[in-house]
Structure 1
Amino acid sequence: MYQVNTMAIKSYPIEWNKIFGNNNKLIVEVGFGGGEFLVNLAKENNNYNYVGIETSLTSCHKIKKKIFQDNLNNVQIILEDAKFALREFFSDNSINKVIVNFPCPWPKSKHAKNRLFDEKFIDTLSSVLEVDGELILTTDIFWYASAVKEKFLNNRCFEVKNISEINQLPFKTRYEKKWENEGRKKYLLIAQKRCKKSIKRLLEGDFELPHEKIKKVNFDKLQSLAGFKKSNKNKTIVIKDTYTKLDGSEYLVKVFSEDEGYIQSYFINVIKMKEGWLVKLDDIAKAYRTPAVKEAVNTIAKELEN
């Protein structure tokens, strides 16, 4: 309740009008933290639907308690990386506003790759925001706001307003209170969409469970798969280990894979059937059916049959 199990969705992007049961416009907050801002916004403006995206289990637990206490039916949350979630779970021109309050600036140059606002993320915003839709960024760091503004200008799909100093947000967040106590200034940046760029989604289309059938298994090869690595273009597959059922009727292969920077860990089953063997993504595997996951199934099948 209140949290969308995105791995159980049968088709992507998600049809949010069916999740909420109405056609109200969508507002998304990236990194909602304690949930104070998103919950208060949803209480004050119930003619919108709200989606919060977070990577912290603790934050998700906290906001669900707040949503329940306020009996809100216009808020859903996602536990996922924001770059991946915005690109994969929202269709073109579907979001009215994306709000980002006090993101980590990752100030050291060696950590710059961790910053939220990179070229691909802004391309995603140009796609999923509706025309005239807005990205609203609040930060306590002026150089960070300036760097983000420059990236939006370089994208050429946004009209970017001048960075302004603000007293406070409509609803105070935990971080805003902390910065106020430290005497820090707060800055607001708004980028408004004017056109869109085409983006490539990894999950677009219907749900499909990747699998391969093979006639026989090379058991020596199976035992030596640990450490196997394959990389090509934007995909990487690494096999970490293999596990065997006592009666030899089933094997588990632990895999790490990467699609354009998005990393997943999961198991692939190798199961004895009446005729031959079935290689498939484990039924309880917490993994999206990305190109790298599908290629991992196909690669393992080929390696075991050779």
Structure 2
Amino acid sequence: MQVKPKYISLEPFLPWFQLPKPISWDKVFGRSSPLVLEIGFGRGEYLVRRALDEPYKNFVGIEIGWISIRKLLRSIGKHGIKNIKVIQADARVALEWVFAQKSLSMIYSLFPCPWPKRRHQKHRLFSRDFLRLVNSRLQMDGKLMVVTDHMAYCHWILAQSQGSGLAPELERIGPSFATKYEKKWTQLGQKEFFRLIFRKLEHIEVPERGEISLKTHRVRAFSPEKLTLRGHKDGAVVEFKEMLYDPLRQKTMIRALVVEGPLRQDFWVQVVKRGDQWIIGPAKGCSLVPTQGVQRVLDLVFEAISSQQA
């Protein structure tokens, strides 16, 4: 029995890990148009409406969860929309890696999680550092819009905006966007929401994160059964999760997790016999961003194998 996909087409879904970064959006969309970003599109209702109402603009939606992405892909397919691309990523990672400086005409986020508990506030979006990052990606006439139902979160964002190069304006508004969370709060009796509009006054330089050329390693001798791997917490956090060895193919697979700020990468390293040497490098088929953290993983595996020969 063939399982039918719950989306219509994957064409709007962008495998950003595999593309040169920052991404050339004119090339992706096949035209030069104002570029608009929605952070956390949820079910994608508002994003779809905007794309239909403003066909002369290019839209990018960022979301972490696949279920939300799948729903948006289905809606894009049903409406035949051609001016939306979808990225699965943390917003901080996407802005650091995917978008060039001064590339966005507008960024908006509707009802981001306010993380009301004090111990969770470190997870909030729109901290001072994040707003400075937003600033760097906006064009000089660009703007940021944030809408929230949470008054304390609204005032926290306003406080964070100092030193961001963005000038805020606060407006109290009624229900205006017909999204899932707006409808939820409206049904619970909330009639007033907070809309923050930030206009860029000055440019703050936050360079795009750059990829590096990964260096693979070679060793003469390797005993998989004696290999002991230790993680690393200085700068990038590295953890080794598991190891598999195939004696017939003379190949070892090592699963590693590396965390560099908001960027988390879970991938496999292979140690494979080629002639009279063992080669250490990322396993084929892994989608990863080649960073200093990934290089540190390869170096740690190399150091652990080399210590066997000491």
C-alpha RMSD of the superposition: 1.6
Change (3 A) 1:56 1:210: farther
Q: Which moved more, 1:128-137 or 1:213-222?
A: 213-222
Verify: 1:180 aligned to 2:186, yes or no. yes
Change (3 A) 1:212 1:82: same
Displacement of 1:43 after TM fit?
A: 0.2
> In the alignment, what sits opposite 1:141?
150
The answer as to whether partners of 1:221 and 1:303 remain within 8 angstroms in 2 is: no
Write out aligned runs for 1:5-154 (5 A): 5-9=15-19, 11-154=20-163
Which of 206, 216, 220 is the aligned partner of 1:211?
Answer: 216
Q: Which moved more, 1:209-218 or 1:26-35?
A: 209-218
Between the aligned partners of 1:46 and 1:116, the Cα distance in structure 2 is 29
Displacement of 1:248 after TM fit?
A: 5.8
The answer as to whether partners of 1:153 and 1:160 remain within 8 angstroms in 2 is: no
Between the aligned partners of 2:225 and 2:76, the Cα distance in structure 1 is 54
The answer as to whether partners of 1:215 and 1:305 remain within 8 angstroms in 2 is: no
Write out aligned runs for 1:223-234 (5 A): 224-225=228-229, 228-232=230-234, 234=235
Q: Which amino acid aligns with 2:218?
A: K
Between the aligned partners of 1:23 and 1:215, the Cα distance in structure 2 is 52
SS at match of 1:264: strand
Which of 143, 155, 172 is the aligned partner of 1:165?
Answer: 172
Displacement of 1:209 after TM fit?
A: 5.1
SS at match of 2:304: helix
Q: TM-score, normalised by structure 1?
A: 0.92
Unpaired segments ≥5 residues, structure 2: 1-10
SS at match of 1:154: coil
Between the aligned partners of 1:159 and 1:81, the Cα distance in structure 2 is 25
SS at match of 2:288: coil
Displacement of 1:235 after TM fit?
A: 1.0
Displacement of 1:215 after TM fit?
A: 2.5
Q: Which moved more, 1:131-140 or 1:252-261?
A: 252-261
Verify: 1:295 aligned to 2:296, yes or no. yes
Between the aligned partners of 1:114 and 1:242, the Cα distance in structure 2 is 32
Unpaired segments ≥5 residues, structure 1: none
Between the aligned partners of 2:216 and 2:122, the Cα distance in structure 1 is 34
Change (3 A) 1:85 1:200: same
SS at match of 2:37: strand
Change (3 A) 1:305 1:248: farther
Which of 13, 23, 40 is the aligned partner of 1:3?
Answer: 13
CA-to-aligned-CA distance 1:119-148 (integer Å, 9 cap, x gap): 321121011111121110001111111110
Change (3 A) 1:252 1:194: same
Displacement of 1:172 after TM fit?
A: 1.5
Between the aligned partners of 1:137 and 1:303, the Cα distance in structure 2 is 48
Q: Which amino acid aligns with 1:189?
A: L
Between the aligned partners of 1:198 and 1:214, the Cα distance in structure 2 is 42
CA-to-aligned-CA distance 1:48-102 (integer Å, 9 cap, x gap): 0000000111110101111111111100000111111111100000001111000
Q: Which moved more, 1:40-49 or 1:286-295?
A: 286-295
Between the aligned partners of 1:49 and 1:63, the Cα distance in structure 2 is 16
Query: Aligned pair count?
Result: 296
Verify: 1:278 aligned to 2:283, yes or no. no
The answer as to whether partners of 2:270 and 2:282 remain within 8 angstroms in 1 is: yes
Identity of aligned residues (%): 26
Displacement of 1:200 after TM fit?
A: 4.7
